[in-house]
Structure 1
Amino acid sequence: WTPTRARDRRSGMGLSCLGRADNTPCYDSDKSILHFSNVHAGKVPIGQPRLRWHHGPVQALPITSLYVHVPFCAHKCEYCAFYSEASSGELINRYVTSLVREMELVANDLKPRTVFFGGGTPSILNLRQWETVLRAMERLNLLGADEWTIESNPATVSLDKARLWRDFGVNRVSMGVQSLDEKLLERLGRIHSRDQVFKSFDTLRCAGFENVNVDLMFAIPTQTMEVWRATLREAIALGSEHLSSYEVIYEEDTPLYAQLQAREFDVDEDLACEMYDELIQMTGANGLVQYEIANFARDFRVGQRCAQRAVDVPERSPPPRRAEDSAALPALACQHNVNYWRGGSFYGLGPSATGYVHGVRTKNWSNTQLYCEQLEKGRRAIESSEQLSPEARAGEIAAFGLRMNAGWRFEEFQQVTAFDLREGWAAEMREFIDRGWAQTNEKGFWLNARGLRFADAAAEAFLRLPSMAQ
């Protein structure tokens, strides 16, 4: 198995899993919805028995999550397959105007509890552009989310910008650090330096941010275990409230993929496994609770910020959390991502963004010019949409929930999908229990520490349409 980086790390929608079968579902833009090759919308195939529904129709989920894609970057990184383009002042201004129009079209159907601005590089917008967006959200009653995240590059964060975000209610920033080694930052095509990481972190603290995520990558070409361990130690010592970490993957049509094909470097899967083990050990020993394959959070409330401190380097893995402990999320888990993993609805705005609203999956144009043209004509910039059958959606939700350490509580799964996990996926549950990958009790089903390493294979099995228990 190898840990793999999800395309959608921010929305958490891609399956950044271990032991991937490489039919990995992929989301356009951490960040919105995914397109499966083996799950289809519409009717159940002929000959496929329809699963019994329980307790009436699917419980309606309010539209309480909003993802906004900002598609601009100062420079495209070597590994990046997200939709983005070089920043241009004129095009960014046009995008901002169009984004406000798109917000106006959906505002009446949206009461966000979580908001996530991803990219691209959202922090590349200047103060005037940000103020235009934020004032529009204020006018449309879209402020006041419980959790509001903006992704940032350490090279594009200023104190004035951070203070503006805080003034309008942004309360969480995700820093795209990736590495604290200068050579590896250059290897990845990142525009920031290690010094800018520490300066930007201090800037966010000065602006009043008490919930910061640090995003790292491992198994980078030429990265050694010594360098990875040093990066982990320094990143944890910052005292951030959340850490996410993914293995680099090689997407077609990226410079890094071309270099791999040209055999400029080799992929060491054994080393990648060891790096993931080191990640689990060091986070667990330093108060960062794993709640999803690649995500770790502090289990205290905002305002109880931990100071920078020495980092414990464990000689062995910390004891695993008991099954009864794993159902509760750490206090500072990313609620926006949890909404995805738990089958919630969400709006996706901006070029290439996808959404899932009232049973319909939508995808915006992956072209900023086309996106703007559609909104300038007074209509949503939707390139495609599909109505998912309840069975297909239930399969997706079953798979996504297994990303999380808590897995699924049977009652919760039935409330969300109107299907019984034990009835529709009995064979899969038994298979993974027999393999030693999963556990169950009268309340739920979850992958254990070993099973999480093979979560992609498990998710692929659960993605299928549910079947009737014989």
Structure 2
Amino acid sequence: MVRGVYIHIPFCHQICNYCDFNKVYFHKQPVDEYIEAVGKEMAMVVSKEPEQFANIETIYLGGGTPTALSPKQLERLLELIADCLPTNVLEFTAEANPDELSIDKLKALKNGGVTRLSLGVQSFDEALLQKLGRTHTINHIYQGIEWAKNVGFENINIDLMYGLPGQTLKQWEDTLETALRLNLPHYSAYSLIVEPKTVFYIQYAKGKLQLPGEELEAKMYEMLMDEMEEKGIHQYEISNFAKEGYESIHNKIYWDNDEYAGFGAGAHGYMNGIRYSNCGPIKKYLQAIETGKRPILYQHQVTISEKCEEEMFLGLRKNEGVSFKQFEMKMGFSMNEKYGDVIHRLIIEGLIMEDAGRLKLTKKGRFLGNEVFQQFLLSE
């Protein structure tokens, strides 16, 4: 059963130097046509399996940048969503760029059912923002948050990044202190990953990207956890922190390894045991919709071994970890049957622990998460 819906808006007014998501420059793109096509794709899928979408918990507008759209375009998109999906969900999130927000856009989102905003802040250091290719300033951040609150948004997240080119521990400390003074209900913080087909990747390949070493990045992560804990913002996932009751329900669907639908060019989904991705180029996406076909580029029936792997490396991202009971209910066999030796070894190494019927990362394990996750990949 589908728990959530992701809708991809691939348009950006500026392409960030680190971003590898499916995106295009907004200028001269068939934006209105794309919005209508997303509505047609949703209607096509939902009409075939309406029972799958009757009790969805979340909707998430991601990108690209949804706030690249005009207020009227946002209104039309939200009308099409409401035509196909129940919008009285537990959580309805829209991503936003601080410098693209306006009172009219925020009102369009609020009136269309959006209940949660996620702002791509990344840093409170102007020089680092320029290195990242961001177009907003610190004043844009303050103004956007103030406007959002005035319009009625209470559930606001900001994304932060560390391990940035040339970033010092003091710069990261200053960004954290500034972010926490905002007293928001949710914070996400991610270390930079240099992905192929990005500006940073090209610079890195040429030896022109100076990144903090692993030791400094580990200090930044430890500072992040300590500062959040001190301010009463509890860590509930490797990269996410929230006040009680403001944890991201949509993202938890991914970490719970549950099913969700993805709509739009380049969107990914997981339905009926099949992981799929839509074609990315907008022209191909529009052509598929025009002919009445689903715009699927790739789909894969998840095997039981793959499901086990995903249950472990996704679930262990959460501070609550993976339930032994839930694992057995989903798989038909126990976690120890599949991973007994691995679990025993990682416990001895102090990277995971058993607690209240769950398997969890230790604090040491959070620093070495990827190494832990790899241990649960099966060879079969």
User: Does TM, scored on the shorter chain, surpass 0.5?
Assistant: yes
**Which one of the candidate residues 364, 371, 374 is aligned to 2:278?**
364
**Which one of the candidate residues 166, 169, 174 is aligned to 1:230?**
174
**Which one of the candidate residues 236, 240, 247 is aligned to 1:295?**
240
What is the CA RMSD across the aligned residues, in angstroms? 1.4
What residue identity is the alignment partner of 2:38? L
Answer yes or no: is 1:445 the counterpart of 2:359: yes
**Segments ≥4 residues shifted beyond 6 Å:** none
After the TM superposition, which residues 110-149 of structure 1 pair with which residues of structure 2 at under 5 Å, given as runs? 110-111=53-54, 112-149=56-93
State the shift of 1:119 in Å: 0.6
State the shift of 1:358 in Å: 0.5
After the TM superposition, which residues 48-447 of structure 1 pair with which residues of structure 2 at under 5 Å, given as runs? 62-88=1-27, 90-107=29-46, 108=50, 109-111=52-54, 112-269=56-213, 270-299=215-244, 331-441=245-355, 443-447=357-361
State the shift of 1:83 in Å: 1.1
What runs of 5+ residues in structure 2 fail to find an aligned partner?
none
Q: Distance in 1 between matches of 2:193 and 2:170?
A: 21
Contact 2:95-2:117 at 8 Å conserved across structures: yes
Contact 2:166-2:211 at 8 Å conserved across structures: no
Does the residue aligned with 2:297 lie in a helix, a strand or coil?
Answer: strand
Q: Distance in 2 between matches of 1:205 and 1:253?
A: 37
Greater strand share, structure number: 2
State the shift of 1:90 in Å: 4.6
State the shift of 1:386 in Å: 1.2
Q: Deviations over 1:286-328 (max 9, x none)?
A: 11100111100101xxxxxxxxxxxxxxxxxxxxxxxxxxxxx
Greater helix share, structure number: 2
Q: Distance in 2 between matches of 1:239 and 1:100?
A: 37
Give the TM-score normalised by the residue count of structure 2. Answer: 0.95
What residue identity is the alignment partner of 2:157? N
Q: Distance in 1 between matches of 2:3 and 2:357?
A: 27
What residue identity is the alignment partner of 1:231? T
What residue identity is the alignment partner of 2:147? T
Contact 1:343-1:416 at 8 Å conserved across structures: no
Moved more, 139-148 or 193-202: 139-148
Does the residue aligned with 1:69 lie in a helix, a strand or coil?
Answer: strand
Q: Deviations over 1:263-285 (max 9, x none)?
A: 22432222111111111111110
Q: Deviations over 1:89-141 (max 9, x none)?
A: 55111110110001101222323211111110111111111111111222224
What percentage of aligned pairs have identical amino acids? 31
Q: Distance in 2 between matches of 1:343 and 1:405?
A: 15
**What is the number of equivalent residue pairs in this alignment?**
374
State the shift of 1:387 in Å: 1.0
What runs of 5+ residues in structure 1 fail to find an aligned partner?
1-61, 300-330
**Which one of the candidate residues 353, 376, 380 is aligned to 1:462?**
376
Does the residue aligned with 2:17 lie in a helix, a strand or coil?
Answer: coil
Moved more, 246-255 or 168-177: 246-255
Q: Distance in 2 between matches of 1:76 and 1:257?
A: 14
What residue identity is the alignment partner of 1:171? T
Q: Distance in 2 between matches of 1:352 and 1:133?
A: 17
